Structures are given as C-alpha cells and as structure tokens.
Amino acid sequence: MTTENENENNKKIPKHLAIILDGNGRWAKKRHLPRLLGHRAGLRKLENMVRLVKREGIRYFSVYAFSTENWTRPKMEVDGLMSLFRFYIRHKVEEIKAEGARIRFCGRKNKIPEDLLEQMNWAEEYTKDQNILDFILCINYGGRAEIIDAVNKIIDSGQKNITEEDLRKNFYLPDVPDPDLIIRTSGELRLSNFWLWESAYSEYYFTDTYWPDFDEAELKKALEDYAGRDRRYGGLKK
C-alpha cells in the first residue's frame, strides 16, 4: 500500500498514477483513419502527459502500452506498434530525461524484438539517475504473467512456503509502490490484466474519452475525483 502526496495547495494526489491507454483504434476509426495512426496519436499524447503528470507532483506514472494478449492482434498492427515504440524511444528519450524523468519498462522480455529490447535497455540506463518522476511503460505486461513469473522464481530458489512479501520482492519492479489511482479511457469498465496484485486497494476512474483526446482538463477531472475519495484499505471509517 502507499500513502498519497499532497501538492502545494494541500490537495491529495496519487503517489503512483496508472493509466490504461485505451481507444486509439476507435479514435482512428471515427476519423476514417488507419488504426496505426490512432496508436501514433496515442503515443504523441503520452509524451505530453509525462509533463502534465510531473507538474501535478506525481512521483510514479505507469501506463499499459502493450499487453501479453496484444500479440494476438493482426501482424501488421503489432509490427507497426513495435516500429512506433522504436521511433519514440529513439527520438523522445532526451526530452523525457530533460523533464527529470527516469524511464523504466515493465513486463516479460520474451517476444520483444531484439533491437527494440536493446533500445529499451539503453533508455533505462541513460535515464537511471533522474529522480523527479519514474515513467513506467508496461510492454508485454500481464498481471497474471507477473504473478506466475514471481512464483516460479521463488520455486527455483528452493523456497516452499511463500508469503505476500516474497511475491512482492520477485515482481518485475518490486520497488515501485502500488498504484493509488488507475484511470481507464474509452468507456471500457474492466482492468484487463493490469497490475492485478498491486491494484488490490487502488481507486479506479473510468472515462468515455478516447486516449488520444485525454488532455489536461480530463486529467484534472480525474485527480479532483480522486482527491474527494476516502481511502480506508478495508478498515472502518473514522
């Protein structure tokens, strides 16, 4: 569990904000554009969102960019997404680093093209000393896969009795606190295998806005809603 931050106006803000980036394809379809242009618009929006999240004083910002299930999409779309990831890592890391953000990737390394994986490792190393914001891109990530991988690591170590703390220590990013607020765009009302263990006490915010249209006003609306909630973590209200 985590404790929230407070900004300069003493407003409660999440220490870890997570967003499920949804609606790129429908955004493109609505404009009679190829789906890949929707994904490109979504990545462009993400670039600006890093700045907005930093301005709000949020310490950890994670996004669900590509799930373990997304490999089943048409090959042309998957290949196009991998190319977009390559382009943005190659051209935007410098700007993100200038914001004081450390780039981190979360998920399984298998299936990711070797050249892209090298770029991801380079981006993590290049920004590792930044400490204003941890910007976490979940690529080839699945909550079930993370739990299974953690259990298998513990079994391989020879341990028989497993505690919650053992699991947490073997997750992909064990130092990252649980998300306080998870936003899902595009009107879908489900978690879709994102941060399954870590979201046990997260707050959720759903919006009909497609991700490429999710702007500063939409972010502020979500944060205002979060600030008004009373988080009790299963305890009684005082």
Catalytic residue from among 5, 7, 10, 70: 70
Catalytic residue from among 22, 134, 178, 180: 22
115 tagged catalytic: no
- Judge residue 105's burial from the number of C-beta atoms within 10 Å of its C-beta, 0-12 exposed, 13-18 middle, 19 or more buried: buried
CB atoms near residue 19 (< 10 Å): 25
- Strand (E) or helix (H) holding 62: strand 60-67
> Got the DSSP string for 89-105?
HHHHHHHHHHTTEEEEE
| Residues 88, 45 contacting (CB under 8 angstroms) | no
Distance CA 61, CA 133 (A): 7
Of 27, 49, 68, 57, residue with least CA distance to 216: 49
What token pair was written down for 34? Answer: 């190829």
22 tagged catalytic: yes
Active site residue ranges: 22, 70
